[in-house]
Structure 1
């Protein structure tokens, strides 16, 4: 959905896709690994006006679009508020829903020493104890950070070996991970941390750093070597590298509310989704009724009302 370059809004487009079984729905062009979505592509001068123009095109589109699902969005972002206004102005029902939490650390100018001093005493003591234990492994313990393209094959083999022996379910798209490692290395973004004992990889973390922001993409440790606490040691090592070498302004865990993330990060924010239902489309009106019924059920539960005992909605 395109706003022409000669329009008053400036050039911009919104790229959506539909699945074969649901051609009446449009979805954000994101995938399983997406942690943040920006709806507009282009250099629109007035992004809100561009989104309103695109919402109007979607309303008029034939065959009709019944519903749109856009996620994950930053709730505080101007585009998110503009999306809500754009679709409601065209008579659509818009519902916001929670997607996942995002733990992060603002760290511009922060040294590793100052970072560790800001951690709780239990975290500092645990970390120092585990680092000493790892370093005392008779010279057999090793940590390295892979950044170069010519090291990726061996490094990703080690990463996949750790992942296969971890607590995590099988990686759904392993080829995607390996190819993304190549993209990161070619652009100077890759920070692939590997911890090993006696040349056996026991922990791996896939970070990438761009525009002075470090993103923690994937991590795992081998269950049989959990007593080495290599995951903790490797996390601290990569944080130190990010602060002291890359001089990043933020470290970001991307998606998920896993408890360990709170140990290392200082802030949490949420990512949300928007479902917009076209009330001028019969199928869209039905979807809107279903989504609104879900909102009412949540309200009843918060009030202690049994939804099954509530009056029928229709």
Structure 2
């Protein structure tokens, strides 16, 4: 972007080597994620773009919508988003950046200037505890932008380091605990089976079973139906994929899409066949997967992803609020309607 110290790059694969290193690793940061988003999760007419500061000192993945709006390169599947200001090897939102705050602010400054030149940018899926996000928002304020933050979604998780299955189960609410015990006993009588796919072998069959279950579930159609299968295929070679299918009499009854990395098991998608709801297939499969994570993989965190679905409270004890932010230049008339709506929303929240 001329005059800002930022270059625009059209695709993740075209990023310079230093910028790729700045992205680091972790599901919602690495190149595999951005490739999948580019290929299978863009709204009609939208195009990705990456602002790269200097020689790759900072990267901000963005999306130019068909109507010209500029937003973060986030999707309905994104559980976290942040500018890439400090190279790191773990994308977990619970980890603070290893680079001192002053250094982060310096790296964020060209991105903030580019936001000022753009006039209006919407960011989503921001973790308030993320140092890189704080640095960018502070730099935007310093560049004269208004930063309007808003609540977006909760993310439920629980630390299970050192816990075994019995300890974890004992901490569940009584009704859920008894349902799990009763259904697991019934599941052990021979009519059911669990298939877990964690690599390329058998993946096509597992994806077909997952899509069979999803089509017969209570869930609405996916906005981007090709995205999850593409992400599954992308994750399988690295061993991060856990695609679980629970069958009753050989028929897929429940399916779950988990990602395991750096001691954290994150479920991205789950569904069960509504016709088999009386068997509690979703509860059974969740219990089987968590028991496996605790007894065989020694997972330290269970993460139920974005959203405040009521069932998550039974499986995880901690909720973290994720936010969005509008970055707007108050001197540009284009941002005034958004500023007015934001102020009205705050007034309504205060009076309710």
TM-score of the alignment, normalized to the shorter chain, above 0.5: yes
Matched, 1:102 2:155: yes
Match of 1:190 in 2: 241
Aligned counterpart for 1:35 among listed residues 59, 62, 79: 79
Match of 1:2 in 2: 52
Runs of 4+ in structure 1 deviating by more than 3 angstroms, as ranges, are 41-45
SS at match of 2:311: helix
Match of 1:309 in 2: none
SS at match of 1:103: strand
SS at match of 1:201: strand
Matched, 1:152 2:203: yes
Q: Assess if the C-alpha contact under 8 Å between 2:155 and 2:306 holds in 1.
A: yes
Contiguous gaps of at least 5 residues in structure 1: 303-314
Which structure has the greater CA radius of gyration? Answer: 1
Q: Alpha carbons of 1:57 and 1:182: their partners in 2 closer, same or farther (altered >3 Å)?
A: closer
Residue by residue over 1:77-115, the C-alpha shift from the partner in whole angstroms, topping out at 9 and shown as x without a partner, is: 223332332222222111111111111011112211211
> Residues of 2 paired with 1:231 and 1:271: CA distance?
26
> Residues of 2 paired with 1:14 and 1:169: CA distance?
31
Q: TM-score, normalised by structure 1?
A: 0.86
Instruction: Quote the RMSD (CA, aligned, Å).
Output: 1.9
Query: Shift of residue 32 of structure 1?
Result: 2.2
Matched, 1:74 2:127: yes
> Residues of 2 paired with 1:52 and 1:41: CA distance?
11
SS at match of 2:305: coil
Q: Assess if the C-alpha contact under 8 Å between 1:195 and 1:234 holds in 2.
A: yes
> Residues of 1 paired with 2:258 and 2:221: CA distance?
19
Q: Which is bigger in relative contact order (C-alpha 8 A, separation at least 6)?
A: 1
The answer to which of 220-229 and 173-182 deviates more is 173-182
Aligned counterpart for 2:62 among listed residues 16, 31, 35: 16
Q: Alpha carbons of 1:122 and 1:286: their partners in 2 closer, same or farther (altered >3 Å)?
A: closer
Match of 2:169 in 1: 116
Q: Assess if the C-alpha contact under 8 Å between 1:69 and 1:275 holds in 2.
A: yes
